[in-house]
Structure 1
Amino acid sequence: MLFFLLILSSTIILIQIAPAEQAQSTTIFTTNELPSTGSSLDYRILPYIGNGHLATVAFSEFIYMNGLYNGDNGTSHRARIPSTLNWQFKINLSSSAYTLNVSSGKILFLSVFTETIENDEIRIERHLFASQEYTELLIAYVVITRLKSTGKKIVVPIEVNEQRTSIDIDFKVETYHDEYVLLSGETRQVENVQFQKEPLSVFVYHTPLPVNGLKLGKHEKRRTYLFVTSIDEQKSRAKSSFDYATHKRQADKILLSHVSRWNDIWSDGHVEVSGDDELQRQINSAFYYILSSLPPLSTRSEHKQFYGLSPGSLSRGGFLGEDYGGHSFWDTETWMFPSVLLFYPTLAKEILSYRIALRDSAVDNALLFGYEGWRFPWESARTGVDVTPDCCPEVRLYQMHITGDIAFAARQYVAATGNRDWISNELGGDLIYESARFWGSRAVYNNNKKQYEILTVLPPDEDAQPFKNNSVFTNAVAALSIQLADSVSCITNKKTPQSWIDIASNLHFPFDNSTQTHLEYEGFDLKNTTIKQADVVLLGFPLMWPMSDQVRRNDLLAYEPLTRDDGPAMTWSMHSIGFIELGDFNKAEQLFQRSYETYVKPPFNVWTEARSGVGAVNFITGAGGFLQAVLYGYGGIRLKLDQLEFKPRGHLPNQATKFVIRGIKYQGTIIDLTIDNKMYEIFVRAQSSKNDVPLIYKQGEHRGSLKLMDRLSFPIDTQLIIRRLVPLCP
């Protein structure tokens, strides 16, 4: 039997959830035994809790803070903060359960990891969560309940595994009686002396554990303990949040607020699946793990600079050679950003703010190689210098498509929001212009081909080392970057040079005329080359590069068998989207299932990078690719610079009979999209009062203004176009 907290009028009580209901839930992930390897817990596939500022894997040794890195240049990695939550109850067990509730459902949503253990005398519930109300807080909420009226005092011993030292941080420990412990320190190494003058500070306030264990008096039926950890780079902020949480009347309020704010997140945007509970579980958990590494939509904490999404989430990255050190790659903008943008444009802007904040390093990185504008690093951490380890010089030197990937994310943000203020006053226009400027300085003209080229690059397919000429993907994102700068020049007041426009319209795209197939790069062998991951197929989506259906099909069929079987998780979602576009639904479904089934590990649906389970874990890059297949593949959504398009094909995956995609944000309007096998419907749920530019729609011969509470239905496989009445740049 599983127990959950129910909060009524700030009073916490327990409700029982029957095993049958647990099994049917699409939001609850539970097990009676934690995954292990031999005699040790398998931390690689344990769930994590986080709030964009702090994160930790359940029962692990470390906590990580966004932006806190130690090590210089190629050795930079997330700094390990000793966990204050790593302790166990020492009782003889008769039963145990470990549960993660990831989304709103019939059960009150918690976004809390729960351990429930009991014997004949007592039940202990430990609820762990990273507060949405104050992001400095990690909370352990412990409830002890007497099961037998024995009339005797009960003491629960605790085995403490926590440490007060770190290989990354020089800590000083101060104990203030039984009130709190303060760990204060600085990282041992700065990342780069040019852009980081001083070590980074961190302050950890936490509630001390009772030396003699947790107690239940002779006549007590239940007792609640609250263990608070507050961490920040500013001492005053960490202490203020700690004081708030430990106030004697705040315990219930902290949990109530956390639950309420997470429910607001799910109300703001989510996907409902009818007919396939397992697919619903996959969608819920994928969103949970990505959102747990992003800032809250609403918080009482001061706003902090966001320092990027790593492939291994905020909960990993403290060891060199594992989980990419907590660095940010193209994964952020290409794989995770699109699904975040559709529901949470304010969080999408936070992601882009990371790149803008570290623009000085991008300028320096371009100049270092003799180019202009902003060149973003392949691996980025605190300062924005390239922190790619010395093991991999090729990617550091040549994998420059990331600058185009970031510019493409900016393109999608502008398309979704029409946010002129971001372009004009929040340096979004600088990001767009300076990225284009980089490509303008990077391209060279080939007199023989009468075309421009971008030479000595590494495409997304990292097996193509050491470098190649004219990566077709790189050239496409470069052209789109320049086109974007020209499209918003009326807002930035920065005229796009004609030479850049010439480059964008006349870049060389390697192409095999005999097979009518794009070549990954100049000289690519279509018959005998193995590739690591999706590359050329990304032209069709997300780039939406113009091509015929036949060429699109040829690209998909050519590169699927060339792709390594042990490649990263997100690859097959892009193939699935392509075959959905082309109407090959059986093939699409096979590839859609391949995109997640062998990469997601039970019991908590933790993603791994490779099918074998090796590589990064908590691999939210894979989760992002999977969600794109749901939203942009089966949802049929396309976001273009001047319009939003819907074209669901109606052939839903697996056993699903209906999709409802709630909370699509476009130009100040919130739209719900419902799809079944015959029809699709859009419902205008809300429109911003600040939106003074009406939206219009076109579907075949149907045209009209899109108004609040409109409900429009159309046959599947027909296209609906929504756009502003007045273009962003007339």
Structure 2
Amino acid sequence: MLFLVILSSLFVVVRTVQNHQTGFTTIFTTNRLPWNGSVLDYRMMPYVGNGHVATVVFSDFIYMNGLYNGDNGTSHRARIPSTLNWQFLFHPSTSSFSLNVSSGTFTEILENDEVRIEQRIFASQEYTELLISHVVITRLALNGRKIVLPTRINEQVTSDDIDFVVAARNEQYVLLSGKTRQVENNQFQLEQLPVFVYYTPLPVNGFELDPQETSRTYLFVTSIDSEQERAKRRFEYASNERHSDQIWSSHVSLWNDVWSNGRVEIVGDDELQRQINSAFYYILSSLPPLSTRSEHKQFYGLSPGSLSRGGLVGEDYAGHSFWDTETWIYPSILLFYPNLAKEMLSYRIALRDSAADNARLFGYEGWRYPWESARTGVDVTPDGYLDIATYQQHITGDISFAARQYIAATGDRKWLMSEYGGDLVYETARFWASRVVYSNEKKKYEILTVLPPDEDARPFKNNSVFTNAVASYSIQLAHRVSCITKKVVPQHWLDIAFNLYFPFDNATQTHLEYDGFDLKNTIIKQADAVLLGFPLMWPMNKEVRRNDLLFYEPLTRASGPAMTWSMHTIGFLELNDLDKAQQFFRRAYETYVQPPYNIWTEIPESLGAVNFITGAGGFLQAVIFGYGGIRLTLDQLEVMPPPRLPNQAEKLIFHGLKYHGSILDLTIDNQNYHIDVRGMDNNNSMSLVYEYEQEHFPLTNNIRLSYPINTRLVIRPLMHFCA
């Protein structure tokens, strides 16, 4: 399908997003795509997505939220053949390929003396079923002849994962109808998953300009959904030329709203700003839109490689969800976009029956979440890693800790009482209460035969210090919200929570990763015991905090994943060791982010998973909680003195922090920090107060607070959770 439009009216809206940040910090451009020999290196290519569909630009596959194929050990994202991966058979004199993260758009421009080709690709925020491509052909030489631009068509109508049939084909559209080939688990998935793909066919004779034409725009629409009628409606709407401008302008406007709703601004360091912008983009484009006209769909989790990858077992973690979601990616989303954080938790709640079944399977109570989760919530860890699936149980505590952070940030009692949030909190605590054993020798409770976050400790250890901490917090949280949920926590559970055994070396005053850990000779994969200091904020003095950081730093292998060094950054900032913090901060992203599109890799040498948004999440935490000094607990939001500025930055600004219905802007410079309250939820019954020099003042709308950076500022709800 094609129609004529005025080019300036089609693309003018993109300028609106530049009000927030300069094009240099939001647009990633190259004149040559990343090639590996004669093959395009898709690992280094960016993606467009909207939480329902996503695709790596010019790749062979599109992926849909929740669409998996394979059984328990082979489940992976089901590959939908790409409808957007054609190539122009054209030899340009100049070319550019740009990702604009402020509008979620990829643009290809090819040009010679006679003609210019401009293609824009985006995953619609307005209607999430849609992937759209506009191709504008513009005549540059007025030679009065017909121009024909042939293409290499890579159309595929088959998939190794989906039994597709071509249900319809005409000049307007092709319809692929199919179901996945294999169910993930017969107990929780009764039949194969349906998917319907409507898409605009490419012009058989190529792209054309008649002799009298100076410009022509082609529109290519792809609509994908599990319901055929909905996929068809979206396709018909988007294919109507009257709606094209509206879909594009709405898409850009909605992305503009995302950045207006919450973002991090660095003044004085454009390169760091680019890192921050791209890190947020790659996470947000795998999450549902803040606002959309599409019907709400169940969100099926964040994979370390994003929604755009994972079509093979062993590739980018097959699209599975791990602890990465709650521990590494979630915290930076929570404070700016609490509704999206709630969507992330909804995935775990939706699969609660599987979690309960998993606990019973191992002889325990409550909900025990799997190490790797896909469509049904059963454990889909591939064969060869079953020891990890069996013993890496801290993920249940990680999910509970994420619930703790959500409650702390929002005070959302409705979520606790009527949206299964209270059940999530209680049942994960019940699991831990059933999981412990009492040691007569230690006079403490223990959690035996587990694998800590450090997977180099395989096959299993006793008393992972991190696991015991999240287990204790899980039970404590159930107690703290019990007056709201009316789910009474037995005293025995509280005895467990406050009497768990924590391995500790008295001689060095250092936490041990697990029982029997050798502080001198053991090499570890990634941050583990240092996570006690942050994000867990487990009570300890500064000496122990420093010792944990100093002892575990040299033990961590250089090939460890990116997010480890973000946690060391935060730790050394707490200790006011700015040189160490800066060293680890730069290490946290400089060797893991690959040009030209700031693609995150899991490890520096052999890349590992890409695009590794786990690393992006850890990096953003170093900015927000490290240099920003923000700390969130069940009782308060605190800005720890003194906040610091990273790299060469002159100012650090957090726009749109959300706390108990208030919207705050936090600005930090070399001498002061300022908090501007630009929104208060009038329906929030828990009024806020801020504490300064041991005095309390009400927090009101449009108030501006300014203090020296060595000042501690605390914001608290007047009413909160149970004692």
TM-score, length-scaled by structure 1:
0.96
SS in 2 for 1:652: coil
CA distance in 2, matches of 1:409, 1:568: 21
Distance apart, 1:12 and its partner CA: 4.3
Q: Deviations over 1:491-522 (max 9, x none)?
A: 11010011110000000000000000000000
Q: Give the structure 1 partner of residue 52 of structure 2.
A: 53
Q: Give the structure 1 partner of residue 517 of structure 2.
A: 524
Q: Give the structure 2 partner of residue 555 of structure 1.
A: 548
Q: Give the structure 2 partner of residue 31 of structure 1.
A: 30
Q: Give the structure 2 partner of residue 219 of structure 1.
A: 212
- From 313, 319, 331, give the equivalent of 1:326: 319
Q: Is 1:397 aligned to 2:383, yes or no?
A: no
Q: Give the structure 1 partner of residue 410 of structure 2.
A: 417
SS in 2 for 1:595: helix
Superposed, 1:173-252 pairs within 5 Å as: 173-252=166-245
* 1:27 counterpart letter in structure 2: T
* 2:92 counterpart letter in structure 1: L
Distance apart, 1:162 and its partner CA: 2.6
Query: Are 2:10 and 2:248, in contact at CA under 8 Å, matched by a contact in 1?
Result: no
Distance apart, 1:613 and its partner CA: 4.2
Distance apart, 1:417 and its partner CA: 0.4
Q: Deviations over 1:332-380 (max 9, x none)?
A: 0000000000100000000000000000000010001000000000000
Q: Give the structure 1 partner of residue 611 of structure 2.
A: 618
Unaligned segments of structure 2, at least 5 residues: 16-20
Aligned residue pairs total 715
Q: Is 1:573 aligned to 2:563, yes or no?
A: no
Q: Deviations over 1:186-243 (max 9, x none)?
A: 0000000011000000000000111001111111111111100000011111111111
- From 507, 511, 530, give the equivalent of 1:514: 507
- From 482, 485, 497, give the equivalent of 1:489: 482
CA distance in 2, matches of 1:502, 1:651: 40
Q: Give the structure 2 partner of residue 707 of structure 1.
A: 700
RMSD (Å) for aligned C-alpha atoms: 1.6
Query: Are 2:381 and 2:389, in contact at CA under 8 Å, matched by a contact in 1?
Result: yes
* 2:267 counterpart letter in structure 1: S
Q: Give the structure 1 partner of residue 633 of structure 2.
A: 640
SS in 2 for 1:665: strand
- From 332, 350, 365, give the equivalent of 1:357: 350
Query: Are 1:650 and 1:678, in contact at CA under 8 Å, matched by a contact in 2?
Result: no
SS in 2 for 1:463: helix
Q: Deviations over 1:257-302 (max 9, x none)?
A: 1000000000000011011111000000000000000000000000
CA distance in 1, matches of 2:271, 2:10: 34
Q: Is 1:533 aligned to 2:532, yes or no?
A: no
Distance apart, 1:587 and its partner CA: 0.3
CA distance in 2, matches of 1:175, 1:361: 38
Q: Give the structure 2 partner of residue 317 of structure 1.
A: 310
CA distance in 2, matches of 1:312, 1:553: 33
Deviates most, 577-586 or 643-652:
643-652
* 2:577 counterpart letter in structure 1: D
- From 281, 293, 318, give the equivalent of 1:300: 293
CA distance in 1, matches of 2:30, 2:62: 24
SS in 1 for 2:609: coil
| 1:13–1:549 CA distance, 2 compared to 1 (3 A) | closer
Q: Give the structure 2 partner of residue 431 of structure 1.
A: 424
Q: Give the structure 2 partner of residue 723 of structure 1.
A: 716
CA distance in 1, matches of 2:323, 2:7: 41
Query: Are 1:637 and 1:648, in contact at CA under 8 Å, matched by a contact in 2?
Result: no
Q: Give the structure 2 partner of residue 698 of structure 1.
A: 691
Superposed, 1:330-479 pairs within 5 Å as: 330-479=323-472
CA distance in 2, matches of 1:202, 1:11: 31
Distance apart, 1:158 and its partner CA: 1.2
Q: Deviations over 1:560-599 (max 9, x none)?
A: 0000100001100000000001100110000000000000
CA distance in 1, matches of 2:671, 2:393: 44
Q: Give the structure 2 partner of residue 65 of structure 1.
A: 64
Query: Are 1:650 and 1:679, in contact at CA under 8 Å, matched by a contact in 2?
Result: no
Query: Are 1:648 and 1:675, in contact at CA under 8 Å, matched by a contact in 2?
Result: no
CA distance in 2, matches of 1:276, 1:416: 29
* 1:268 counterpart letter in structure 2: N
| 1:720–1:37 CA distance, 2 compared to 1 (3 A) | same
Percent of counterpart pairs with the same letter?
70
Query: Are 2:14 and 2:252, in contact at CA under 8 Å, matched by a contact in 1?
Result: no
CA distance in 2, matches of 1:613, 1:96: 30
Q: Is 1:257 aligned to 2:257, yes or no?
A: no
| 1:550–1:7 CA distance, 2 compared to 1 (3 A) | farther
Deviates most, 339-348 or 607-616:
607-616
CA distance in 2, matches of 1:14, 1:238: 27
Q: Is 1:99 aligned to 2:92, yes or no?
A: no
| 1:6–1:608 CA distance, 2 compared to 1 (3 A) | farther
SS in 2 for 1:460: coil
SS in 2 for 1:328: coil
Distance apart, 1:388 and its partner CA: 0.2
Q: Give the structure 2 partner of residue 19 of structure 1.
A: none
SS in 1 for 2:518: coil
Unaligned segments of structure 1, at least 5 residues: 17-21, 104-109
SS in 1 for 2:304: coil
SS in 1 for 2:472: helix
Q: Give the structure 2 partner of residue 107 of structure 1.
A: none
* 1:378 counterpart letter in structure 2: W
Distance apart, 1:648 and its partner CA: 4.7
Distance apart, 1:23 and its partner CA: 10
* 2:631 counterpart letter in structure 1: R
Q: Give the structure 1 partner of residue 18 of structure 2.
A: none
Q: Deviations over 1:60-115 (max 9, x none)?
A: 00000010000000100000000000101112211110000112xxxxxx220000
CA distance in 1, matches of 2:143, 2:100: 34
SS in 2 for 1:691: coil
Query: Are 1:6 and 1:14, in contact at CA under 8 Å, matched by a contact in 2?
Result: no
Query: Are 1:61 and 1:162, in contact at CA under 8 Å, matched by a contact in 2?
Result: no
* 2:93 counterpart letter in structure 1: S
Q: Is 1:134 aligned to 2:133, yes or no?
A: no
Q: Give the structure 2 partner of residue 162 of structure 1.
A: 155
Distance apart, 1:24 and its partner CA: 7.1
Query: Are 1:311 and 1:332, in contact at CA under 8 Å, matched by a contact in 2?
Result: yes
SS in 1 for 2:335: helix
Query: Are 1:470 and 1:510, in contact at CA under 8 Å, matched by a contact in 2?
Result: yes
* 2:688 counterpart letter in structure 1: L
CA distance in 2, matches of 1:161, 1:515: 62
SS in 2 for 1:250: helix
Query: Are 2:104 and 2:285, in contact at CA under 8 Å, matched by a contact in 1?
Result: no
| 1:716–1:23 CA distance, 2 compared to 1 (3 A) | closer
Q: Give the structure 2 partner of residue 665 of structure 1.
A: 658
Q: Deviations over 1:478-499 (max 9, x none)?
A: 0000000000000110100111
Distance apart, 1:729 and its partner CA: 3.1
| 1:354–1:592 CA distance, 2 compared to 1 (3 A) | same
- From 578, 585, 592, give the equivalent of 1:592: 585
Deviates most, 327-336 or 387-396:
387-396
Query: Are 2:29 and 2:98, in contact at CA under 8 Å, matched by a contact in 1?
Result: yes
Query: Are 1:99 and 1:115, in contact at CA under 8 Å, matched by a contact in 2?
Result: yes
* 1:223 counterpart letter in structure 2: R
Q: Deviations over 1:442-484 (max 9, x none)?
A: 0111011110000000000000011000000000000000000
Distance apart, 1:6 and its partner CA: 10
Distance apart, 1:392 and its partner CA: 0.4
Deviates most, 149-158 or 183-192:
149-158
Distance apart, 1:14 and its partner CA: 10
Query: Are 1:63 and 1:315, in contact at CA under 8 Å, matched by a contact in 2?
Result: yes
